[in-house]
Amino acid sequence: MEYSAQGTTAAGRYESMVGLRSTFDREAKESSKLTIPSLIPESTTGTRSKIKTPFQAVGARGVNSLSNKLLMTLLPADQTFFKMTIDSLELRKEGQEGFESEIDKGLRVIENALQNVIDTSNDRVAMFEALKHLVVSGNVLLYLTDKGLKVYPLSKFVCKRDEVGNVLEILTKESIHPQALPAAFLEQIKKKDNYDAEEMKDDLDIYTHIKRMNDDVMWYQECKGEKIPNTDGRSKVDVSPWIPLRFIRIDGEDYGRGYVEEYRGDLITLESLMQAIIEGAAASAKVLFLVNPNGTTRAATLAKAPNGAIREGSASDISVMQVGKGADFNVSFSAIQRIESRLEYAFLMARSVQRDAERVTAAEINLMARELENSLGGIYSILTQEFQLPYLKRRMHMLVRSGKVPKLPDKLVKPKIVTGLQGLGRGNDRNKLIEFITTVAQALGPDVMRQYVNVDEAVKRLATSIGIDTANLVKTQEEIQAEQQAMQQQQLIQSLGPAALGSPLVDPKKLSDAAASQQPMEDPNAQQEAQ
């Protein structure tokens, strides 16, 4: 990748594109104010400033609730949300028909290795942060490497997409301490004419320029207008470590829209009503006594009198000031309840299929995915394709590159997302298999079922679907036949009796052949008697 494609630096390119992002920045900050203000603060200078919290907490609860449900379905803990599938057409071309169960068992080992990497990483922690940004701002950039998953909010990157939504160019902006840069690069900067020693004491801006070239993605880093050595990177598009995400897609726009933006009207109204209620309640809680200036009772006498004291005066001269806004408060409370109900429905707080338990089952996750799909109108399906599939391909690529799993033929084996309405992982395969066997047995009878269904293959597939290694657990056909022969030999021995067992006329090989053919052997003594 050329360092300067248009004759400008990465910093110059970033500044030329940041203006197109300003509208989305503004909308994201407004949505953050009403939900989680610390998520997208007004100031991004790095200094901690006082953040004004909203008067209502429905927005924050809604964002956290929706993000949590998305996380539990996109990256469920202790549940496989994907599987490696076999292309049956390619399998026939390779002449590997009949080995589906063995290949599937090998793929299960790879799935377990990939799932173990996901379970032991910090990806879920980082993804929860990313999902909150998606719900509020509608945009987030993920960077997946061996060190883990890094999250770039909207304020730290710009991008350019084509007419169908494919990302063509991304630039990120970060701050780093000068001492974290290579020593040789620092010496290179010091030799520049515009070198400022005082400026080098503070954090420096680092720009990363990512660009798509046909089927490849290439990137490099820049600081102070100079390319940082050994920061070049290159990968295929389908295994790129850079994963840009959008929540609500609008054709022709480079950035997505946040989910909070669609319900900002209710949030603004709720914020105003809650502020009025809180301030009115504070005013109503204030106790203020009024004394008639023309009466005999003096205000100073009352103020200085201790509790239980006796003073001269008239009770009619004293009154307590009341706000008298109870009816107005009731109207406000009624409106608040209706708005909260709508927001709880929109952010899926009022409905949940999840039990209050430590471990969530695959069925519960499946139902939760169905709820998200039905409520969000296809947004959940977009995330399964734009996040899960690139994420899994990148994770698989990293495993192959490290030598922990063998490289799979792309034409024969492909990762398939099984989530949402289709169920989760191999648990769906298990349910289908059990349903098929049960239906055949009930409709046609157990005998007909055993006649047409390969029981050995069914047992192997059932074990694979629940992640059990069948080695030394499920008997092979040879072991089953050997046990049947031994049982038949034992029955023949019992029928012949102990005396016949010791007779030299009994041929063990003949006995074994008879057992194999399941035919009774002639009694030698009976033959002698006939003769």
Distance CA 395, CA 415 (A): 11
* Average pLDDT of span 509-531: 47
Task: Name which residue leads in pLDDT, 401 or 480.
Answer: 401
Query: Which two three-digit tokens encode residue 67?
Result: 């993000």
Report the alpha-carbon distance of residue 256 to residue 133 in Å, rounded.
11
* Token code pair at residue 77: 């803990």
Separation of alpha carbons 20 and 254, rounded Å: 9
Radius of gyration for the alpha carbons in the chain, expressed in angstroms and rounded: 37
Residue 375 and residue 65 in contact, taking contact as beta carbons nearer than 8 Å: no
Residues 6+ apart with CB under 8 A from 307: none
Question: What is the C-alpha to C-alpha distance for residues 72 and 276, in angstroms, rounded to an integer?
Answer: 37
Integer angstrom CA distances of residue 331 from 144, 278, 326, 342, 343: 51, 14, 9, 17, 19
User: Which of 10-24, 195-209, 231-245, 261-275 has the least mean pLDDT?
Assistant: 195-209
Report CA-CA distances (Å) from 23 to 31, 155, 169, 229, 393.
13, 12, 19, 35, 33
Task: Determine what percent of the chain is predicted with pLDDT higher than 70.
Answer: 76
Taking residues 4-24, what's their average pLDDT? 85
Per-residue pLDDT at 223 exceeds 70: yes
- Which residue has tokens 């050595």? 229
Q: What pLDDT band is residue 504 in, cutting at 50, 70 and 90?
A: very low
Position 459 in a domain: no
Tokens 């840009």, residue?
244
Cα separation, 112 vs 44, in Å, equals: 41
In-domain check, residue 244: no
Give domain status of residue 526, yes or no. Answer: yes
Q: What is the pLDDT of residue 413?
A: 65
Name the more confident of 176 and 1. 176
Q: What is the total residue count of the chain?
A: 531
Q: What is the DSSP secondary-structure string of 22-36?
A: HHHHHHHHHHHHHS-
Number of Cβ within 10 Å of residue 216's Cβ equals: 13
Banded pLDDT at 110 (limits 50, 70, 90): confident
55 secondary structure, DSSP code: S
**Least confident range of 47-51, 145-149, 221-225:** 47-51
Q: Is residue 407 part of a domain?
A: no
For the residues 438-443, what does the mean pLDDT come to? 84
Which pair of tokens denotes residue 69? 């449900």
What does pTM read for this prediction? 0.74
**Residue among 423, 422, 425, 420 at smallest CA distance from 376:** 420
Structure tokens at 87: 């292309």
Q: Is the confidence at residue 530, as pLDDT, over 60? A: no
Tokens found for residue 122: 């910090």
- Residue 274 vs residue 505, higher pLDDT: 274
Q: Strands 204-213 and 167-176: what pairing?
A: antiparallel
Q: Which two tokens stand for residue 218?
A: 């290439």
Residue 326 in domain:
yes
CB 142 within 8 A of CB 130: yes
Average pLDDT of the residues in 444-455: 80
Q: Model confidence at 45, in pLDDT bands (50, 70, 90)?
A: low
Confidence (pLDDT) at 195: 72
Q: For residue 521, what pLDDT is reported?
A: 46
Residue type present at position 379: I
Q: What value does the mean pLDDT take over residues 411-438? A: 62
Question: Mean of the pLDDT values across residues 331-359?
Answer: 79
Q: Which amino acid is at 413?
A: V
Does residue 417 sit in helix, strand or coil? strand
List the one residue out of 230, 240, 226, 25 whose CA is nearest residue 136: 25
Q: Average pLDDT, stretch 298-302?
A: 84
CB burial class (10 A; 0-12, 13-18, 19+) of residue 312?
exposed
- Report pLDDT digits (tens) over 127-166: 999 999 999 999 999 999 999 999 999 999 999 999 888 9
* Between 124 and 198, residue with greater pLDDT: 124
pLDDT digits (tens, 9 = 90+) for 329-342: 888 899 999 999 99
Q: What is the pLDDT of residue 387?
A: 92
Q: Binning pLDDT at 50, 70 and 90, where does residue 517 land?
A: low
pLDDT at residue 316 greater than cutoff 60: yes
The answer as to whether 298 is a domain residue is yes
**CB hemisphere CA count around 176 (13 angstroms):** 18
Q: Taking the CA of residue 313 as centre, how many other CA atoms within 13 Å lie in the half-sphere pointing to its CB?
A: 19
Q: What are 384-388's contacts with CB under 8 Å, separation 24+?
A: 384/74, 384/417, 384/419, 384/420, 385/417, 386/243, 386/245, 386/246, 387/74, 387/142, 387/243, 387/245, 388/74, 388/81, 388/82, 388/417, 388/419
Is residue 393 within 8 A of residue 416, CB to CB? The reply is: no
pLDDT at residue 354 in the model: 52
What's residue 258's pLDDT?
A: 94
Max Cα–Cα distance, the chain, nearest Å: 148
Q: Which amino acid is at 26?
A: R
Average pLDDT, the chain: 80
Does residue 238 contact residue 212 with C-beta atoms inside 8 Å?
no
pLDDT greater than 80 at residue 103: no
Domain holding 330, by residue range, is 262-305+313-346
Per-residue pLDDT tens digits for 363-390: 676 677 777 777 776 777 788 888 988 9
Q: Give the per-residue pLDDT at 362.
A: 62
Which of 346, 367, 395 is the last residue in one of the domains?
346
Tokens of 496: 């012949």
> Is 50 exceeded by the pLDDT of residue 467?
yes
Given a cut of 50, is residue 424 above it in pLDDT? no
* Within a domain: 206: no
- Using the 8-state DSSP alphabet, how is residue 78 labeled? T
Domain count, the chain: 2
Asked if pLDDT for residue 464 goes beyond 60, the answer is yes
Proportion of the chain above pLDDT 90, given as a percent:
35
On the CB side of 489, how many CA atoms lie within 13 Å of its CA?
16
Structure tokens at 489: 């030999």
- Percentage helix, strand, coil for the chain under 3-state DSSP, each rounded to 5: 55, 15, 35
Interval 215-222 mean pLDDT: 96
Helices marked H in 312-454: 326-346, 362-376, 379-383, 389-402, 425-444, 446-452
Per-residue pLDDT averaged across 453-457, rounded? 78
pLDDT of the residue at 423: 40
Query: Per the domain annotation, does 517 fall within a domain?
Result: yes
- What pLDDT sits at residue 503? 46
Q: Which residues pair with 417 in a beta bridge?
A: 82
Residue 62 structure tokens: 């809604």
Residues 6+ apart with CB under 8 A from 72: 354, 360, 365, 368
